[in-house]
């Protein structure tokens, strides 16, 4: 197809994808997402599928203003601010065979989840514990 020297841009619309939530193993996932990332547009498919599978989403202060955007990522889960109680609730959710997610920015937020191991170390880091 000739474009007469013009660029053609395509934008993926996540609502057009049917990602199977059952592909995500139960557990607590840590999504290290830089605060400037556009949600859901800049998410990787893996990060998107984890958010989509979550029964509980915990966000840190750097993502507090994006609370409504998580719903755009089709997260129909409970959404709570980061706290020790929320982390304990996440462990309980995972022990029942579901997915819990902690969204944070490692450059701004200090969180500690023991026994977490990296699943991905790209622009958006994913860890599983």
* Residue 78 β-bridge partners: 56
Res 21: pLDDT: 43
Tens of pLDDT, residue by residue over 73-82, are 666 678 899 9
Q: CB of 127 within 8 A of CB of 50?
A: no
Tens of pLDDT, residue by residue over 89-107, are 999 999 999 999 999 998 8
Q: Average pLDDT over the chain, rounded to whole?
A: 78
H-helix segments, the chain: 45-53, 67-72, 84-95
Q: What is the pTM of this model?
A: 0.72
Where the chain has pLDDT below 70, the residues are 1-22, 72-76, 117-124, 126, 129
Res 123: pLDDT: 58
User: What is the token pair recorded at 15?
Assistant: 């609502």
Q: CB of 93 within 8 A of CB of 55?
A: yes
């Amino acid at each position: 197809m000739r474009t007469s020297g013009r660029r053609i841009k395509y934008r993926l619309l996540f609502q057009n994808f049917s990602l199977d939530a059952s592909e995500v193993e139960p557990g607590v996932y840590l999504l290290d997402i830089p605060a400037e990332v556009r949600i859901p547009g800049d998410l990787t498919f893996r990060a998107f599928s984890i958010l989509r599978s979550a029964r509980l989403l915990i966000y840190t202060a750097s993502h507090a203003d994006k609370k409504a955007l998580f719903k755009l990522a089709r997260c129909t889960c409970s959404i709570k601010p980061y706290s020790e109680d929320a982390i304990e609730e996440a462990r309980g959710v995972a022990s029942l065979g579901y997915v819990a997610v902690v969204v944070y920015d490692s450059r701004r937020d200090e969180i500690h989840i023991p026994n977490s191991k990296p699943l991905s170390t790209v622009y958006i880091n994913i860890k599983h514990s």
